[in-house]
Amino acid sequence: MKITFVIPPTKHGRAAERLFGCTFQVYAQPNLVVLYPATMLKEKHKVVVRDFPVEDYSYKQFIEWARHDDSDIYCFHTVPLSRELDLEAVKALKKKPVIFFGPEPTDKPELFLTEKNYYVIRGEVEASICSLVGAIENKKGFEKVDGLSYIKDKKIVSNKNIGYIKDINKLPIPDRTLIPYKKYRNPKLPRSPFTTMLTSRACSYRCYYCVPCSLSYARELDWKSCNKGKPPVTLISPENIYKELVEIKNLGIKAISVIDDQFVWDKERHHKICMAFKKAGLPFGILARCDRLIDEGVVKDLADAGCIYADMGVESFNQKILDYCKKDLDVKTIKKSIDLLQKYGIEPKINILYGACPLETKETLRDSLKKVKALDIDFAQFAVASPFPGTEFRAKGLKEGWVIEPDVGKADPSKRSLVKYPHLSNKYLDMWVVHSFRSFYFRPKIILKRLFKIRNISEFSIYLRGLYRLIKRKNE
């Protein structure tokens, strides 16, 4: 059978960023959530992955492709911000069997089951996709596929949950040759092309607003539908990580963005992983908590291994807000982690999340921005908390009336707030995000630093698009 994974082009505006799943795309990233199941199916089927935004297709060209394509099954990885686009795009595919997976179908399978040959895999897609394709091919056995929601006798049937994949070391290394892997560029990394990589799944911390990367998010939503708390963190062994690094390097890929929700776990494993990166000789960046980056040995290992940047979720400089949101972070560790990273030549990038609780005020907004600007850093990301399904923030926001729009498919965390408070309107939060970006990035020292660090025309183009969006927001 021929199976095609489809990432359709947008009809207008920016493409949804599907790997993390909670914002819009600044630069394209290889979608591992697609590559894992595609690689598994490749053993018995002809598999194609079409990343149409990266291939620079217009929506009109996509429709023309759909008219002539001869695939037997289509697969869509859907996040909240891509729901409307995917449900529109699937209409062009001649009513062939379609498999939907990802956080949005996991949360709302009924929205996707509009045809009898449409199927939803809830949770970790790798656990069930081969069984589902077999059932579609044989036209029987659907009741045996864990995590499947489908239509039977004109009714939606949902099979038992997957739970979670207990040993992710048994999964294959994602086949990056299925995508135009040489086209991906990341301005935060020193070499191109780059790729994405996972060394673990999920995060054990309890931040009440948190949405992990879209793979972990689907996993978490499925788990929470019949269990309390979060599913356990699963880890790839240092030995398998090194095997994947060797394969990546052999493809001619020059750098890696590690997209684990939390990269640093126990020190012994961390040291072994860093040694694997060092041996492979590939520069990389990570996501990690501030309090996991205050141990000098941990940071030194990262630097020795070739770590270029560390992306950290700071969210607020107000301790009461952090405590309310169950961040379990001492605000004092923020500066300490930044200083230590800079000591070892690792670029710190911090993320600020406004409006995550009713303790946020105009004064706390001003204070957080002031403290961000006082840091000697070049990168900061500002956003408004969105009430994503499955989060305690959403449940509490709906109960207390903070949520003015429950459909997070209409969110734009860097532009449009879906929450407000009696003392803090959504309009003010929208304005403050735009003001924060402009106030931080329009400083002469930041502009000069960025210009001097630009290495090629691709990065210059990304930089200009970013400035254009900031100027455009100013005039809206």
246-297 per-position pLDDT tens digit: 999 999 999 999 999 999 999 999 999 999 999 999 999 999 999 999 999 9
Specify whether the CB–CB gap between 381 and 365 falls below 8 A.
Answer: no
Instruction: Say whether both 417 and 358 belong to one domain.
Output: yes
Q: How far apart are the first and last CA of the chain?
A: 49
- Could you tell me the two tokens for 354? 């406004």
Residue-level pLDDT at 465: 58
pLDDT > 90? residue 231:
yes
Could you tell me the pLDDT band of residue 474, with boundaries at 50, 70 and 90?
very low
**Domain boundary, last residue among 158, 193, 219:** 158
Average pLDDT over residues 423-449: 90
Q: Which of 143-147, 165-169, 187-191, 360-364 has the lowest mean pLDDT?
A: 187-191
pLDDT > 70? residue 454:
no
Average pLDDT over residues 220-232: 93
Highest mean pLDDT: which of 303-317, 401-415, 459-473?
Answer: 303-317
Report the distance separating Cα 402 and Cα 419, nearest Å.
Answer: 5
Instruction: Say whether both 395 and 433 belong to one domain.
Output: yes
pLDDT > 60? residue 65:
yes
**Domain boundary, last residue among 121, 138, 158:** 158
pLDDT > 60? residue 195:
yes
pLDDT > 90? residue 167:
yes
Instruction: Say whether both 183 and 54 belong to one domain.
Output: no
Give the CA diameter of the chain: 65
Domain CATH number, residue 205: 3.80.30.20
Eight-state DSSP code of residue 15: P
* 40, 217, 324 from 96: Cα distances, Å: 21, 28, 48
Instruction: Say whether both 147 and 226 belong to one domain.
Output: no
Instruction: Say whether both 185 and 64 belong to one domain.
Output: no
The sign one gets for the Cα dihedral 297, 301, 304, 308 is: negative
pTM of the model: 0.92
Residue-level pLDDT at 414: 72
DSSP letters spanning 429-452: HHHHHHHHHHHHHTSHHHHHHHHH
pLDDT > 90? residue 168:
yes
In a domain, 163, yes or no: no
Eight-state DSSP code of residue 403: B
Instruction: Say whether both 173 and 309 belong to one domain.
Output: yes
Nearest alpha carbon to residue 314 among 284, 285, 349, 366: 349
Alpha helices by DSSP H, listed for 3-128, are 32-41, 59-68, 83-89, 103-107
Specify whether the CB–CB gap between 101 and 136 falls below 8 A.
Answer: no
> Which structural domain range is residue 129 located in?
2-158
pLDDT > 80? residue 350:
yes
Instruction: Say whether both 92 and 6 belong to one domain.
Output: yes
Instruction: Say whether both 217 and 154 belong to one domain.
Output: no
Report the distance separating Cα 113 and Cα 10, nearest Å.
Answer: 22
Residue-level pLDDT at 239: 98
In a domain, 235, yes or no: yes
Instruction: Say whether both 172 and 278 belong to one domain.
Output: yes
pLDDT > 70? residue 303:
yes
Could you tell me the pLDDT band of residue 452, with boundaries at 50, 70 and 90?
low
Instruction: Say whether both 88 and 223 belong to one domain.
Output: no
Residue type, 26: V
Q: 229: Cβ–Cβ under 8 A, 6 or more apart, which residues?
A: none
Q: Bigger pLDDT: 187 or 422?
A: 422
pLDDT > 60? residue 82:
yes
Percent of the chain at pLDDT > 70 equals 94
pLDDT > 70? residue 461:
no
Residue-level pLDDT at 318: 97
Specify whether the CB–CB gap between 125 and 82 falls below 8 A.
Answer: no
Average per-residue pLDDT for the chain = 92
Instruction: Say whether both 246 and 138 belong to one domain.
Output: no
Specify whether the CB–CB gap between 324 and 353 falls below 8 A.
Answer: no
Residue-level pLDDT at 282: 97
Number of domains in the chain: 2
Average pLDDT over residues 138-150: 97
Instruction: Say whether both 359 and 413 belong to one domain.
Output: yes
Measured in degrees and rounded to the nearest 5, phi and psi for residue 199 equal -115, -5
Could you tell me the pLDDT band of residue 12, with boundaries at 50, 70 and 90?
confident
Average pLDDT over residues 115-138: 97
Could you tell me the pLDDT band of residue 475, with boundaries at 50, 70 and 90?
very low
